[in-house]
Structure 1
Amino acid sequence: MDLATVLSFSFIAALLVMSPGPNGVLIARTVPTSGKAAGFANVAGFVSAFYLHGALSILGISIILVQSAQAFFIVKMLGAAYLCWIGLKALLEAWRGVAPAVGDVAPAKRRRTLLKAYSEGFLTNALNPKVSMFYLAAFPQFISRMDGALSASFTLVFIHSLLNLVWFSLIIMLFARLAGATRNQRFQRWLKSITGVVFIGFGAKLAMLKL
């Protein structure tokens, strides 16, 4: 795989990573309430799911999802249901919140364990068939017959994962620097309300996705 191919794929993958999506919303929801470590656990979940989708694509299982309407529908609806569940949970937390007597409250760092944050990041991507569709579309375009399919495919997955790590690390650090503002309970209720609506929107969009 030559440098031009790597740079071309990196450019396309970077646009995908930086475009608004469930991953960015999950980070925005996690860091203010659970801290940087939980945010990085989210990212670890993203990366794990990417390698899962990459392996499935290489083995050809993802082709079944694309060619089988029933299999695609099942995975799609599971992913949509999970995104909507996160959104509804965030809205419920916002609705249950009460206005604080003082301006700021202590950060709720124990509200989300690292394992839970990792699981949320993993499931958000593992149950999204659009990740498999991206790999299925990208692999034939950027892997030549001269390249080993296995090593070249995982090279592309590694690049995609690295771009996610760099981009979302910057986002995590940004939210951490704004921790003083984000600890305000009114801000947290507003953030949960917004992220809840956005997650439900992404879930609905995924549910309407067609082959």
Structure 2
Amino acid sequence: MISAAFVLTCLAVSLSPGQTLAVVIDQSLRAGRSAGLAAVAGNTVGLVFWAAASTLGLTVLVRTSQVAFLVLKVVGAVYLCWLGVQAFRRAGRVKPAAERKGSFRAGVVANVTNPKAAALYLALFPQFLPADGGTFADTATLAVVQMAISFSYYSLVVLAVHTVRRFLDRPAVRRALDRLTGFALVVLGVRMLTLTRSAV
């Protein structure tokens, strides 16, 4: 049975600002609501990947192998910085048409290359499973609930951005937001490089 403590913990994790939030907002600003929702869907697929990896014991590898951890965080950091540079480059340009495929990919990559996503399944889930580790169904139920919470929250973020779209579409505002988003993504990328295994 899903506990209230688990739901509240998942909410806290989702509400915590990080690279997923930055990527979702970036894609929403870049190409509108459909692109933002595509990024949310991509992020959810990334969570499915980590849930599957957790059942296979691969998330433990991220925690115990220095090489695996280093490769993951470097790839993730480079990708975030690349997204940030792209945001800087498009500052002030005319908004491009929605490219859902690219936005979906951005959501997937941002999640799959995030060591903290692995830690979510490695450190959080065992605390809410039975003492014997539980069954596959127990783990799957927790994963589905966590993904539903994550998907719902980030979808609301996309809708919030869409609601103030007219204001955000003003050239001066868009220029400032693109630069701010680009800066945030680069900062997150650099911060990821400083992560240690103890942090996840």
- The two structures have a TM-score, normalised by structure 2, of 0.92
Aligned counterpart in structure 1 of residue 20 of structure 2, from 5, 14, 23: 23
CA distance in 1, matches of 2:140, 2:178: 36
Q: Percent identity?
A: 27
Partner of 2:9: 12
Change (3 A) 1:173 1:56: same
> In the alignment, does 2:153 pair up with 1:167?
yes
Contact 1:35 1:109 in 2 (8 A): no
CA distance in 1, matches of 2:158, 2:140: 26
Count of matched residue pairs:
197
Aligned counterpart in structure 1 of residue 113 of structure 2, from 116, 119, 127: 127
Partner of 1:72: 69
CA distance in 2, matches of 1:64, 1:28: 31
> In the alignment, does 2:174 pair up with 1:188?
yes
- The two structures have a TM-score, normalised by structure 1, of 0.87
Deviation readout 1:74-129 (Å, 9 max, x if unpaired)? 111111111111111111222xx36xxxxxx7xx351x411111000111101111
Deviation readout 1:152-210 (Å, 9 max, x if unpaired)? 11212211111112212221111111111111121111111001111111111111100
Aligned counterpart in structure 1 of residue 88 of structure 2, from 85, 88, 91: 91
Partner of 1:102: none
Partner of 1:101: none
RMSD: 1.6
CA drift at 1:27: 2.2
CA distance in 2, matches of 1:65, 1:120: 21
CA distance in 2, matches of 1:140, 1:177: 38
**Structure 1 unmatched runs, 5+:** 99-104
Q: Which is greater in Rg? A: 1
CA distance in 2, matches of 1:160, 1:132: 13
Aligned counterpart in structure 2 of residue 154 of structure 1, from 98, 119, 140: 140
Partner of 2:44: 47
CA drift at 1:145: 4.3
